[in-house]
């Protein structure tokens, strides 16, 4: 199998981390640490794609992109006096 690259999102939770792949609906992993979560996600992706191949489905190309935006925080608004 050729290699594919997929964007993924990692989110911190109260109990650890969760991660998912936008281009592979339902493909996700959770772990205690970010590193563990990414390792588990890599395995989840491999199983997800293997299942697709076994079912004769077409492996999707990545269409998601990642990035960050810097935004200015709004200052507190003052209510007009009535």
Write the DSSP string, 4-33.
-----EEEEETTEEEEE-TTSTT-EEEESS
- Please state, for a pLDDT cut of 90, what percent of the chain lies above it: 83
Mean pLDDT throughout 41-50? 98
The Cα angle at residue 46 between residues 52 and 57, in degrees rounded to 5: 10
Confidence check: pLDDT of 38 > 80 = yes
Residue 72 tokens read as: 């200015």
Domain annotation covers residue 75: no
* Number of structural domains found in the chain: 1
Whole-angstrom distance between the N-terminal and C-terminal Cα of the chain? Answer: 69
Burial of 57 from C-beta contacts in 10 A (0-12 / 13-18 / 19+): exposed
Domain annotation covers residue 24: yes
Q: What is the pTM of this model?
A: 0.81
Domain annotation covers residue 49: yes
Domain annotation covers residue 1: no
Cα 81 to Cα 55: distance, rounded to the nearest angstrom: 66
């Amino acid at each position: 199998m050729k290699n594919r690259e997929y964007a993924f999102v990692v989110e911190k939770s109260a109990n650890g981390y969760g991660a998912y792949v936008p281009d592979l609906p339902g493909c996700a992993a959770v772990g205690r640490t970010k590193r563990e979560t990414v390792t588990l996600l890599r395995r989840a992706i491999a199983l997800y794609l293997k299942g697709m191949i076994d079912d004769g489905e077409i492996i999707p190309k990545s269409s998601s992109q990642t990035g960050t935006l810097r935004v200015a925080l709004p200052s507190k608004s003052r209510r007009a006096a009535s």
